[in-house]
Amino acid sequence: MKVVTATNETQGSRMNDYSFTVPGELVYVQDPCDCDRIEPLNGCGCSRGFAGVASARATTTAKVVDLPELSIESYTVALRAGLVAQGWPGEWAPGMAELMLDMAAHSPIGTIIERSFDDYRARATIPSETTKRPPGS
């Protein structure tokens, strides 16, 4: 199943990048705070970030990966557990799962995604180890 995870790849491409998550952890998007809504250029930066499900930290870069062992049910359970642990309502998990799975479905594996409020776009596509060709082939 294609999902979106935290990554450090392409960090630093933008002057305002940040990454405090654990690379490879599942991520989701939070609504931006009032600080970012009022002053997007001088706010905290949450409107550009993806929140880590396990670390409760954020990053400006996320990567589409394939986790074939993950089911929609276990993915939703993981999101619910992360949301609840971070003080958010667990009932948000199904909708958040739908949003994040839709985001992953529309991008090839290896795509690095960045965000600005509700605008999500590919920053780069980095081939996974299984799709890279050996040198000289």
Per-residue pLDDT tens, the chain, 137 aa: give them: 999 999 999 999 999 999 999 999 999 998 898 888 888 777 888 899 999 999 999 999 999 999 999 999 999 999 999 999 999 999 999 999 999 999 999 999 999 999 999 999 999 888 765 434 444 44
Taking the chain, what is the end-to-end CA distance rounded to the nearest angstrom?
29
Global model pTM greater than 0.75: yes
Number of H helices, E strands in the chain: 3, 7
The amino acid sitting at 4 is: V
Q: Say how far apart CA 94 and CA 16 lie, in whole Å.
A: 31
How many other CB atoms are there within 10 angstroms of residue 131's CB atom?
10
Asked if 47 and 40 count as a contact pair (C-beta separation under 8 A), the reply is: yes
